[in-house]
């Protein structure tokens, strides 16, 4: 397929994709906005009805208490106006009423009282309404008089011994409350809405306008006619937010569309114009050094590159045998001389901090300081122990080599990320100078040893540099990779240079006090480089800086292709959320359990040994992931992994071991484990691996 046709197809697909995303996003936002409006209208209607009901109940409770009362019955018989003034008129001011009315069974007015601060109103008590009240014993309705809306509560009058109002009524008692500004303000405070009182029917019962919603509650008269209306209106901020999001999405689509066209223009130059110019230059100058750049383009130009290469030169077959030499050096005496200081120093920090943390009255500031000291000391102790183990194995010729074909980016990318962050923390300039084709290099080597060497060199450069820059560069020569770590730090004194690669060597006592470390890092680098068949050397000037070189052999015809990349095999058939932890130590299990539960919504079960892990997988739900300790009683993790993988090959298993020696990862993978992590557990590394195998589970 031609390059221009590819670009046209990509352009068409991109345009269709942008249009589809725009349509889907617009429809989705519109539906979501309507759902939110409908839900809030229902809630507002329910809430406002409850508020009105509460106002009605306040008056009902008062009138109910008054209307089963013997003195009230006596008043009906005696018409004692003084009693009515004292008990009925006073209730108007006590309960902030407009008026109170006592009506006889024949419909005649027996007594009326008004709020002296308000204008008197005239009410008519319909016979049918009184008949309804007589039958139901109570009534609640609304009337509009003039420009005001009144709430009227009525009840029949009975003796004190008849709270159920089963006897015949003696008369009717009405209490009237005006929906004035004070009452509306009270309702507004309770409902959280703006309340408007209307006497005429509005155009619509429900209204949605701009970023607010409103509902209308109809106030009924005794004969179910509309007496008035209360409009409750509230702001709906989420609608405003949704509309802002919609506008942002529209702008995002516009920007994406522009970006796509710019990108396609770049592709046109990248896939057509530039390769043609490069092919012409190679043919004119017969410069085969640029042939690999031409092959990186499309298949058409790759075939052209092969033809040019065959025409200009004969292919050279270079076979390089990697001569692995093991360096031997006795370090037992030096180990004993340095182990006390390098182990006791961080142990002192750990023990001292833990002792202070046990004090009940420790302040938060001191607690944070002690936790930081413990974390720093444990990391230093771990580095020291790892270095002693490495130098012991290297010096006794027992360091195993596990050469595998590894892409150079798989080694360098994690190292670049880690040390870039360390430089930023110390405000040191971080410079990387790699050739453009480094990502296509692969080599047959022990990946962990190469990482160990580069990490030691970069750690030292950052440790001994307080200002300036760190430069990490790579040169690709014929059959050789030459790494260079250059710093602008304190440099190395001339008298120390001959001994710099010996065990426990540091420049002087002042540096020992200023910079932590066992002095084993460069000795490990030197012996590991020899083991890999490479070399390591340096140039340094005191006060100016240091430049370390690490030379590693490789076969230059090993190009990294897409099929060389081993991607993690995620079992998408695993839909459960169960993680099995095979761990015999309670403390280790507790740490794993707390970390996983904090970040993932999964269930966790425990097996105390390999046999229990196998039995659980056979008899229960197959877990979506297994964390397998290696050293366990009855059956170790290697044997258990092999048996589980035979029956359940799709279950991912991560080896979690405290051995931590070079080669343990290889042994775990050989046993059938899908991944490996060493103790003490680094939380970030653990979470990265969990995210890889639990990608279908929503994290917390």
Q: What's the pLDDT tens digit per position in 472-519?
A: 999 988 788 999 999 998 888 888 777 787 766 665 544 445 666 666
Question: CA 484 from chain center: how many Å?
Answer: 38
Does the pLDDT value for residue 560 go beyond 70? Answer: no
CA distances from 159 to 66, 105, 139, 156, 614 (A): 10, 16, 19, 10, 82
**What single-letter DSSP state applies at residue 694?**
-
CA distances from 472 to 212, 530, 574 (A): 60, 21, 43
The whole-angstrom separation of Cα 692 and Cα 700 is 15
> Could you tell me whether strands 109-114 and 99-103 are parallel, antiparallel, or unpaired per DSSP bridges?
antiparallel
> Top-level CATH class of 569-693?
alpha beta
pLDDT the model gives residue 210: 60
**In CATH, 37-237 is 3.30.450.220:** yes
Token pair recorded at residue 60: 């009902």
pLDDT band at residue 322 using 50, 70 and 90 as cut-offs:
low
pLDDT the model gives residue 4: 56
pLDDT the model gives residue 202: 80
Q: Tokens 């009452």 sit at which residue?
A: 183
Half-sphere exposure of 139 (CA within 13 A, CB side): 27
Does the pLDDT value for residue 226 go beyond 80? Answer: yes
Phi, psi of 569, deg, nearest 5: -90, 105
Alpha helix (H) ranges present in 296-331?
299-312
The whole-angstrom separation of Cα 460 and Cα 485 is 10
pLDDT tens digits, 641-664: 999 999 999 999 999 987 766 667
pLDDT band at residue 551 using 50, 70 and 90 as cut-offs:
very high
Give the DSSP H or E segment for 683: helix 683-693
Q: Tokens 């802002």 sit at which residue?
A: 244
Mean pLDDT (whole number) for 281-309: 67
> Top-level CATH class of 332-560?
alpha beta
Domain boundaries of the chain, sorted by first residue: 37-237, 257-312, 332-560, 569-693
What does 353-404 look like in DSSP terms, one character per residue? HHHHHT-TT--HHHHHHHHHHHHHHHHHHHHHHHHHHHHHHHHTT------E
CA distances from 114 to 88, 117, 225, 573 (A): 10, 9, 26, 79
69 closest CA partner among 2, 148, 9, 157: 157
Mean pLDDT (whole number) for 202-215: 66
CA distances from 3 to 10, 274, 298 (A): 11, 13, 8
Mean of per-residue pLDDT scores for the chain:
81
pLDDT the model gives residue 448: 82
Q: Poorest-confidence range of 32-46, 288-302, 398-412, 578-592?
A: 288-302
Percent of the chain with pLDDT over 90: 27
Q: Tokens 């030169």 sit at which residue?
A: 313
305 closest CA partner among 335, 275, 284, 326: 275
Phi, psi of 627, deg, nearest 5: -100, 115
Does the pLDDT value for residue 563 go beyond 50? Answer: no
Does the pLDDT value for residue 262 go beyond 90? Answer: no
pLDDT the model gives residue 433: 92
The whole-angstrom separation of Cα 447 and Cα 525 is 14
Question: What pTM, to 2 d.p., does this model score?
Answer: 0.41
Which residues are CB-contacts of 274 (< 8 A; sequence separation ≥ 6)? Answer: none
What does 259-305 look like in DSSP terms, one character per residue? HHHHHHHHHHIIIIIHHHHHHHHHHHHT-GGGHHHHHTS-HHHHHHH
Token pair recorded at residue 508: 């002087």
Helices and strands of the chain, counted as H and E runs: 21, 21
Does the pLDDT value for residue 561 go beyond 50? Answer: no
What does 520-589 look like in DSSP terms, one character per residue? -HHHHHHHHHHHTT-EEEEEEETTTEEEEEEEEE--TT-B--GGG-------TT----EEEEE-S-HHHH
pLDDT band at residue 221 using 50, 70 and 90 as cut-offs:
very high
pLDDT band at residue 324 using 50, 70 and 90 as cut-offs:
very low
Does the pLDDT value for residue 156 go beyond 90? Answer: yes
Question: CA 88 from chain center: how many Å?
Answer: 66
Q: Can you tell me whether residue 80 is helix, strand or coil?
A: coil
């Amino acid at each position: 397929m031609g390059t221009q046709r590819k670009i046209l197809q990509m352009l068409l697909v991109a345009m269709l994709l942008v249009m589809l995303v725009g349509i889907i996003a617009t429809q989705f936002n519109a539906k979501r906005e309507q759902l939110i409006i409908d839900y809030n209208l229902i809630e507002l209607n329910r809430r406002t009805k409850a508020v009105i009901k509460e106002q009605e109940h306040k008056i009902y409770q008062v009138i109910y208490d008054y209307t089963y009362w013997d003195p009230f019955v006596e008043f009906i018989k005696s018409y004692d106006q003084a009693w009515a003034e004292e008990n009925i008129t006073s209730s108007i001011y006590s309960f902030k009423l407009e008026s109170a009315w006592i009506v006889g069974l024949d419909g005649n007015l027996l007594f009326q009282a008004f709020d002296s601060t308000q204008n008197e109103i005239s009410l008519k008590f319909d016979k049918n309404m009184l008949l309804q009240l007589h039958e139901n014993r109570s009534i609640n309705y609304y009337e509009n008089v003039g420009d005001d809306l009144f709430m009227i509560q009525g009840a029949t009058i009975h003796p004190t011994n008849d709270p159920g109002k089963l006897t015949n009524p003696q008369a009717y008692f009405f209490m009237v409350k005006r929906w004035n500004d004070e009452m509306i303000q009270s309702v507004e405070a309770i409902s959280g809405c703006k309340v408007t009182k209307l006497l005429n029917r509005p155009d619509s019962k429900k209204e949605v306008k701009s970023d607010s919603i409103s509902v209308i509650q109809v106030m009924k008269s005794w004969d179910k006619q509309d007496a008035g209306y209360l409009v409750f209106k509230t702001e709906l901020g989420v609608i405003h937010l949704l509309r802002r999001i919609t506008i942002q999405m529209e702008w995002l689509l516009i920007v994406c569309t522009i970006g796509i066209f710019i990108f396609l223009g770049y592709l046109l130059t990248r896939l057509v114009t530039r390769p043609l110019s490069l092919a012409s230059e190679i043919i004119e100058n017969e410069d085969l050094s640029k042939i690999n750049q031409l092959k990186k383009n499309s298949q058409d130009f790759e075939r052209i590159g092969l033809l040019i290469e065959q025409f200009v030169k004969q292919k050279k077959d270079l076979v390089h045998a990697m001569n692995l030499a093991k360096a031997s050096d006795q370090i037992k005496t030096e180990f004993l001389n340095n182990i006390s200081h390098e182990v006791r120093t961080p142990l002192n920090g750990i023990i001292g901090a833990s002792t202070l943390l046990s004090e009940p009255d420790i302040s938060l500031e001191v607690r944070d300081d002690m936790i930081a000291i413990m974390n720093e000391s444990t990391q230093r102790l771990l580095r020291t122990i790892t270095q002693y183990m490495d130098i012991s194995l290297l010096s006794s010729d027992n360091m195993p080599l596990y050469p595998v074909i590894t892409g150079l980016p798989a080694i360098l990318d994690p190292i670049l990320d880690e040390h870039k962050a360390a430089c930023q923390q110390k405000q040191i300039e971080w410079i990387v100078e790699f050739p453009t084709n480094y990502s296509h290099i692969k080599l047959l080597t022990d990946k962990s040893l190469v990482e160990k060497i580069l990490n030691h060199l970069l750690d030292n450069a950052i440790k001994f540099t307080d200002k300036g820059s760190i430069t990490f560069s790579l040169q690709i020569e014929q059959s050789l990779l030459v790494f260079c770590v250059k710093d602008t730090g304190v440099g190395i004194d001339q008298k120390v240079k001959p001994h710099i690669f010996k065990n426990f060597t540091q420049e002087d006592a002042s540096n020992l006090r200023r910079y932590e470390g066992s002095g084993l890092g460069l000795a490990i680098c030197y012996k590991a480089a020899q083991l890999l068949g490479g070399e390591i050397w340096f140039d340094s000037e005191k006060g100016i800086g240091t430049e370390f070189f690490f030379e590693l052999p490789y076969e230059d015809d090993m190009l990294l292709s897409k099929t060389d990349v081993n991607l993690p095999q995620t079992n998408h058939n695993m839909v459960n959320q169960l993680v099995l932890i095979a761990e015999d130590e309670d403390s280790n299990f507790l740490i794993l359990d707390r970390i996983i539960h904090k970040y993932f919504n999964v269930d966790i079960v425990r097996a105390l040994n390999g046999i229990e892990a196998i039995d659980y997988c056979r008899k229960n739900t197959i877990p979506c992931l297994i964390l397998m300790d290696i050293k366990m009683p009855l059956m170790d993790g290697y044997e258990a992994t092999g048996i589980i993988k035979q029956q359940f090959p799709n279950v991912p298993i991560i080896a979690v071991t405290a051995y931590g020696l070079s080669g343990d990862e290889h042994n775990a993978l050989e046993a059938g484990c899908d991944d490996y992590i060493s103790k003490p557990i680094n939380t970030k590394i653990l979470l990265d691996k969990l995210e890889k195998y639990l990608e279908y589970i929503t994290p917390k």
